[in-house]
Amino acid sequence: MRRLSFTTAGESHGPNLTVILSGLPAGLKVQTELLNDDLARRQHGYGRGGRMKIERDAAVLTGGIRGGETLGGPISLEVQNRDFAVWEPVMSPVRIDPDAARKRALTSPRPGHADLAGGLKYRRRDLRDILERASARESAARVAAGSLCRMLLLHFGIQIRSGVLSIGSVRCPLPKGGVSFSLLSDVDESSPLRLVDRTVEADAIRLIDLGFKEGDTLGGSILVGARGVPPGLGSHVAWDEKLDGRIAQAMLSIPSVKAVSLGDGIENAFRFGSEAHDAIEFDPRHGFTRPTNRAGGLEGGITNGQDILVTLFQKPISTLRNGLPSVDIETKEPVRAQYERSDVTAVPACGVIGEAMLALILADAFLAKTGGDSLEEVAENYQAFMAAQRAY
Ligand SMILES: Cc1cc2nc3c(=O)[nH]c(=O)nc-3n(C[C@H](O)[C@H](O)[C@H](O)COP(=O)(O)O)c2cc1C
């Protein structure tokens, strides 16, 4: 059963990005400054390209909220693209200047992008028609929607955080037990790379500088976690209700995220079963507890009350300054793929988008479990549910 849904619209250099988020209960306080903080966090990070220096993302709330409180209907908001001022002759939804559009046309598809596959599918000969929507600029809209969900989750004591584990070959040293939510508590949001351990920050910056000098790019890995999640979200009864599957799908929908591991998902494949699972214990004060959290808070597609831990693996940015080998779609001649202003790496930003996607999935599963049209009703249902858990 689904409660929340959201749709985004808009192109990278179009007038703005739009989000419609449906399903939040009435009476939730919307803190615009938190929303704009999340949007700003997505823009930061050492290794970003020129675009992020132009944009100053801020949400303009346009529907579903009155006087700072949700009304229970669909919420709409917009994030302006400042760069549209320059791109209007090329990207106006109403009328474009054919000469300007020709100068900005993309006919040499960039490997690792949607350019060629999208052009073939949608029969577009200017691959800008694909690039503009496939661009990760769209993720600003997701971050705004996720931020609203984060406000709901925070109301019920659920926090979501992320931190960078590695950039290219530079990895943060991990404690013996591997990843945990406590690694995320120490992430310095104002640091250039949002690493879980800043002792490798200088090495990572050196590697990014080298990438920039060589016209090359880097990916990395990020831990996204949630704490305070009650047991019982998601379900084992149907394939598409399994929350592990839904979280993985949401994370893989982030541009350039190519693999996801839940808890010790990858490491467990190389272990004996006796070293891979989390024993069940009971104490009268805390109820059921676990000495470890290798499952990352999910068993059988249901939250088990432990922290949710998700590691995302991001491929290196696909646009290289010197252009990878490609073919011009008009002449069919070999060419270098066109260069479009680009990041060297965007791993720290990817973590912020991961937080938003986790917030969207968890808020949906939370509301599906509790039901309720108003925040008060959700709270009553949540308390009854938690009382039943304690009495189990
Ligand atoms: C925050 C963020 C910023 C990105 N910035 C760029 C960029 O500047 N240049 C680029 O080529 N790809 C960038 N990407 C990755 C592309 O959007 C992505 O690789 C492309 O759309 C193809 O999708 P896929 O990698 O999921 O197949 C970025 C991804 C994220 C998450």
Q: What are the tens digits of pLDDT across the range 339-376? A: 888 899 999 999 999 999 999 999 999 999 999 999 99
Q: Is 356 in the pocket of ligand 1 (CB under 6 A)?
A: no
In angstroms, the Cα distances linking 238 to 241, 257, 265, 297, 358 are: 5, 26, 21, 19, 20
CA 345 / ligand 1 centre spacing (Å): 9
pLDDT at res. 245: 98
Q: Is the pLDDT of residue 164 over 80?
A: yes
- At 1 the three-state DSSP class reads coil
pLDDT at 186 over 90: no
Structure tokens at 390: 């304690």
State the CB neighbour count (10 A cutoff) for residue 63: 12
Range of the domain at 65: 5-391
Q: Give the model's pLDDT for residue 340.
A: 81
Per-residue pLDDT tens over the stretch 87-135: 999 999 999 999 999 999 999 999 999 999 999 999 999 999 999 999 9
Number of domains in the chain: 1
Question: Is the confidence at residue 2, as pLDDT, over 80?
Answer: no
Q: Which two tokens stand for residue 340?
A: 């479009």
User: Does residue 342's CB lie within 6 angstroms of at least one atom of ligand 1?
Assistant: yes
The pLDDT of residue 343 is 93
CB of 352 closer than 6 angstroms to any ligand 1 atom: no
| 139, two tokens | 């993720």
Per-residue b or e along 35-60, where b marks 16 or more CB atoms closer than 10 Å to that residue's CB = bbebbebbbbbbbbbebbeebebebe
What is the residue type of 302?
Answer: I
pLDDT (0 to 100) of residue 55 = 72
pLDDT higher than threshold 70 for residue 174: yes
Q: Is the pLDDT of residue 181 over 80?
A: yes
> What average pLDDT does the chain have?
96
Centroid of ligand 1 to alpha carbon of 126 (angstroms): 19
Measured at the CA of 178, the angle between CA 172 and CA 183, to 5 degrees, comes to 60
From the CA of 256, give the closest atom in ligand 1. Answer: 25
Ligand 1 centre distance from Cα of residue 52 (Å): 14
State in Å: Cα 130 to ligand 1 middle.
Answer: 13
Whole-angstrom Cα distance, residue 94 to residue 186?
48
Ligand 1 pocket mutation pick from 115, 130, 135 by most atoms within 8 angstroms of CB: 135
Q: pTM to 2 decimals? A: 0.97
Residues 244 and 106: their CA atoms lie apart, in Å, by 38
Q: Which of 281, 171, 147, 271 is nearest to 222 (CA)?
A: 171
Distance from residue 96's CA to the centre of ligand 1 (Å) = 26
Cβ distance 32 to 59 under 8 Å?
yes
Q: Which of 50-64, 70-84, 281-295 has the lowest mean pLDDT?
A: 50-64
Whether residue 52 is predicted with pLDDT greater than 70 in this model: the reply is no
Name the token pair of 356. Answer: 């938003």
Give yes or no for residue 113 CB within 6 A of ligand 1.
yes
Structure tokens at 65: 């909220």
**No. of helices (H) and no. of strands (E), the chain:** 13, 17
> What residue's CA is closest to ligand 1, atom 4?
136
Whether residue 255 has its Cβ less than 6 Å from ligand 1: yes
**Sequence letter at residue 320:** L
Question: 316 C-alpha vs ligand 1 centroid, how far in Å?
Answer: 9
CATH code assigned at 152 = 3.60.150.10
Dist. CA 113 → ligand 1 center (Å): 8
Q: What is the pLDDT of residue 51?
A: 66
